[in-house]
Amino acid sequence: MARYETALQERTRSLLRLETLFHCLDQDFSAPESLRALLRTFLELLDFCQRPELRVDLLLELDRMIQALHAWKESQLVDQGALSAWEDRLHAQQQALRSGPQNFAEGLRHQELLQLARGRQAVAGGLSGADLPLLAFWEQQEPAFRVAQMQRWRAHFDLLEDSAAVILLFLRESLDWSFQSAEHGRFGTPLNPRQPVSLLQIEVQTPEIYPKISGGMHRLHIQFLQWMDPGPSRALESTIPFRLALSAC
């Protein structure tokens, strides 16, 4: 079973990108060979934090989900206890954002090693101890030193990481699954623009194929492809059964 996930709204797509970057930090901070990848990840996160609308977008997403919970309370089919727990969690995250710093990771922007790495990362192989003596210094420190520094840097993003994680978890727990079939390798369906789909997942039994997904507020289109080596991926013409999940809260 292979699972694919994407977003049909830009805010949700940004959250998935953030999640990917935070997953890149879930590696061994003590290994010298991981330092270059970690520096690139921290720089990408800092680039994300420079977006002036990021904090507002998170607050808007949390508010939208709270409004969805209020609408679901009218249904007798919904676990009211779970709704109340989610409402408390979303309100708490909203309050944390409002009371937190105006700019994420502001205290990390002037870190010397990150500034030096930013100036070299556009050069192929530029993150080298031969070009950056401070990087060579870091690589030769005790593992405990690197771990402590990396953990301290990551803590600057805790509020951002927690906010993105809460929103994505809510969307994933509100996914509505259905069995579908892609005739001649293609599937299309109209969407309700009054309930825009934020997140979708696809499950396929065959690991050798993957879906190409496109869509917006009004329609979703999926084409299944087979990876080929060498050469471009091949569009499938057979009928592909799959599971589709949409989250429109």
185 pLDDT more than 80: yes
> What phi, psi does 117 have (nearest 5°)?
-65, -40
- Predicted confidence at residue 210, as pLDDT, reads 97
Answer whether the bond into residue 230 is a cis peptide, omega within 30°: yes
The mean pLDDT value for 10-20 works out to: 97
- Predicted confidence at residue 200, as pLDDT, reads 97
56: phi > 0 → left, psi -120 to 50 → alpha, else beta; which?
A: alpha
74 pLDDT more than 90: no
CA dihedral 174, 246, 68, 195 (to 10 degrees): -170
pLDDT tier at 246 (50, 70, 90 boundaries)?
very high
3-state secondary structure the chain: CEEEEEECCHHHHHHHHHHHHHHHCCCCCCCHHHHHHHHHHHHHHHHHHCCCCHHHHHHHHHHHHHHHHHHHCCCCCCCHHHHHHHHHHHHHHHHHHHHCCCCCCHHHCCCHHHHHHHHHCCCCCCCCCCCCHHHHHHHCCCHHHHHHHHHHHHHCCHHHHHHHHHHHHHHHHCCEEEEEEEECCEEEEECCCCCCCCEEEEEECCCCEEEEEEECCCEEEEEEEECCCCCCCEECCCCEEEEEEEECC
Residues near 63 by beta carbon (within 8 Å), at least 6 away in sequence = 94
- Predicted confidence at residue 30, as pLDDT, reads 82
Where in the chain are the domains?
10-169, 175-247
The greatest distance separating any two alpha carbons of the chain, rounded to the nearest whole angstrom, comes to: 66
Task: Quote the mean pLDDT of the chain.
Answer: 93
The residue assigned the tokens 């001649």 is: 184
CA angle 168, 171, 176 (to 5 degrees): 145
pLDDT tens, position by position, 113-167: 999 999 998 899 889 999 999 999 999 999 999 999 999 999 999 999 999 999 9
Which pTM does this prediction carry? 0.93
Fold of the CATH domain 175-247: YacF-like (2.60.440)
pLDDT tier at 31 (50, 70, 90 boundaries)?
confident
As a whole number of angstroms, the distance between CA 21 and CA 18 comes to: 5
Contact 184, 198 (CB under 8 A): no
CATH number listed for the domain at residues 10-169: 1.10.3900.10
pLDDT tier at 5 (50, 70, 90 boundaries)?
very high
